Amino acid sequence: MAKNNDKKVEAITSMDEDFAKWYTDICKKAELVEYTSVKGCMVIRPYGYAIWENIQKILDSEFKALGHENVCMPMFIPESLLNKEKDHVEGFAPEVAWVTHGGSEKLEERLCVRPTSETLFCEHYANIVHSYRDLPKLYNQWVSVVRWEKTTRPFLRSREFLWQEGHTIHATAQEAAEETERMLNCYADFCEKSLCMPVVRGQKTESDKFAGAVSTYAIEAMMHDGKALQAGTSHYFGDGFAKAFGIQFTSKDNKLEYPHQTSWGMTTRLIGAIIMTHGDNNGLVLPPAVAPVQVVIVPIAQFKEGVLEKAGEILEKLKALGIRVKLDDSDNSPGWKFAEYEMRGVPVRIEIGPKDIENGQCVVATRYNSQKQTVSLENMLETLAAKVTDLLENEIPQGMFNNALENRKNRTYQCTTVDEINKALEEKGDGFIEAMWCGDEACEDKVKELSGVGSRCIPFEQHQISDKCVCCGKPAKSMVLWGKAY
């Protein structure tokens, strides 16, 4: 990356030329990540971590507003504890990393490095839940987990990643089911409002649900290239885990009953989703809510009298409003700065130079649509500050959301046969397929085998494409969203 006036920001591979290389270029050149000597693990650099911190701050506030409390479970799980729920352990077995030695001594029992924490929460619940008065428990934790992925990519799949995992336990099935859907909607609202990323809400098919769950719900987002990315999941466990772990409570009518549980999670792959939903060939395009820097001020001819002073005045006005703003008074050229902050996805750039000051104005550029406008500096709080606030809170988020939604609409195809699926993908490129399904897992597998698209979810919002299954032609039970996925 350039460090002086003679160098420009290095070019980013065009997404049309090589989408995977484009993605990796942005991760590296925007200084989001760096590779390490630990295969499949990454360093999340300050700029990348700042995005995650903003995601965390918003979600954590929303969780707490819904009554959840943060806890922290151990990172190691004894093998005997993991084995208590058969379906769960079988689902995670291929991805588990094991600790076999403590120092130089072999452990009596292997320890699993946490791939997820259901078993740890169950053990804890068994110790603290005894009466209906102890329920519900609404917990969440912010931790890292390890899953031994064979193929890794920054943010999308790594062997260690950051996430939040919510775990709740309730007296009744109804309460737990309501919690499962409430948290899915919480995720969907966050993605659409804070990340400007439209999502499809739905239920996973039986073959695709979380190991040990009664039902799994997900939100699916479409990336620039038409592929799907699962942005968040929410699981209803029923009382299966409670029975496996011996969790019981005394009900109001003095009977021993098993409680019902949920879990739900979002991860740092959301940063990958932001890149692939909004980014362009100049780099990142960040939603204002999670951008580490929301506004950058670039002085023009800053060596001339009054330029840095006026830029500093704008800086202080915006800071006072709680806007994350930066003044770049380095000796890099304005052209270099423009390219640098475009590549870093800063939502708003303010340009101020001698001629602007003379005319009592500044130039305001928006990253997502590359538009510029002049804004008066008279009564700065009422004009420039109001304009910037409106851009960050309304115009930019809505514009970014609409762009992403338009991409999804243009890449969503309705098909009634597998041949139609293949034709749509061949002629129009990857996208979401809306097609009917009979509910038979064999048909679900056959569609993937013949077309390469898998079931993403059964959308809550159903509409009738036809009355026959896209694969076998038998009566259809539901419309399914199909696609290739990250």
pLDDT-based confidence at residue 379 (cuts at 50, 70, 90):
confident
Number of CB atoms found within 10 A of residue 475's CB: 11
In this prediction, residue 17 carries a pLDDT of: 95
Of 50-59, 87-96, 407-416, the one with minimum mean pLDDT is 87-96
In this prediction, residue 9 carries a pLDDT of: 54
Collect all residues with Cβ–Cβ distance below 8 Å to 83 and sequence separation of at least 6: 89
Last residue of a domain, one of 247, 278, 309: 278
Give percent of the chain above pLDDT 90: 93
For β-strands 160-170 and 256-257, DSSP reports them as unpaired
Helix (H, G, I), strand (E, B) or coil at 448: helix
The verdict on residue 255 lying in a domain is yes
Please tell me the distance from the alpha carbon of residue 225 to that of residue 252, in angstroms, as a whole number.
54
The verdict on residue 237 lying in a domain is yes
pLDDT average, residue stretch 143-156: 94
pLDDT of residue 3 exceeding 70, the answer is no
Please tell me the distance from the alpha carbon of residue 414 to that of residue 92, in angstroms, as a whole number.
34
Asked whether residue 339 falls in the same domain as residue 233, the answer is no
Asked whether residue 379 falls in the same domain as residue 443, the answer is no
Q: How many domains does the chain have?
A: 3
Asked whether residue 258 falls in the same domain as residue 358, the answer is no
Of 36-40, 416-420, 448-452, the one with minimum mean pLDDT is 36-40
First to last CA, the chain: 28
pTM of the model: 0.95
pLDDT-based confidence at residue 381 (cuts at 50, 70, 90):
low
Asked whether residue 358 falls in the same domain as residue 229, the answer is no
For β-strands 432-437 and 478-483, DSSP reports them as antiparallel
pLDDT average, residue stretch 140-169: 96
pLDDT average, residue stretch 396-413: 98
CATH number, domain of 197, equals: 3.30.930.10
**Per-residue pLDDT tens over the stretch 271-330:** 999 999 999 999 999 999 999 999 999 999 999 999 999 999 999 999 999 999 999 999
Structure tokens at 142: 């912010």
Number of CB atoms found within 10 A of residue 117's CB: 24
Asked whether residue 184 falls in the same domain as residue 256, the answer is yes
pLDDT of residue 6 exceeding 60, the answer is no
Asked whether residue 366 falls in the same domain as residue 479, the answer is no
pLDDT-based confidence at residue 382 (cuts at 50, 70, 90):
confident
Asked whether residue 155 falls in the same domain as residue 243, the answer is yes
**Per-residue pLDDT tens over the stretch 61-117:** 999 999 999 999 999 999 999 988 878 878 788 899 999 999 999 999 999 999 999
The verdict on residue 379 lying in a domain is yes
CATH number, domain of 326, equals: 3.40.50.800
Asked whether residue 319 falls in the same domain as residue 436, the answer is no
Please tell me the distance from the alpha carbon of residue 38 to that of residue 97, in angstroms, as a whole number.
14
Please tell me the distance from the alpha carbon of residue 114 to that of residue 80, in angstroms, as a whole number.
14
Asked whether residue 139 falls in the same domain as residue 254, the answer is yes
The verdict on residue 442 lying in a domain is yes
Last residue of a domain, one of 360, 394, 428: 394
pLDDT of residue 1 exceeding 50, the answer is no
Asked whether residue 224 falls in the same domain as residue 264, the answer is yes
Asked whether residue 311 falls in the same domain as residue 449, the answer is no
In this prediction, residue 146 carries a pLDDT of: 96
485 DSSP 8-state letter: B
In this prediction, residue 86 carries a pLDDT of: 76
The verdict on residue 83 lying in a domain is no
Structure tokens at 389: 């606030």
CATH number, domain of 456, equals: 3.30.110.30
HSE, side-chain direction, 13 A CA sphere, residue 14: 2
pLDDT-based confidence at residue 136 (cuts at 50, 70, 90):
very high
**Per-residue pLDDT tens over the stretch 420-437:** 999 999 999 999 999 999
Chain-wide mean pLDDT for the chain?
Answer: 95
Going by C-alpha positions, the residue among 376, 465, 362 that lies closest to residue 482 is: 465
Give percent of the chain above pLDDT 70: 98
Helix (H, G, I), strand (E, B) or coil at 44: strand
pLDDT of residue 2 exceeding 80, the answer is no
CB 12, CB 26: distance < 8 Å: yes
Range of the domain at 349: 295-394
Asked whether residue 242 falls in the same domain as residue 216, the answer is yes
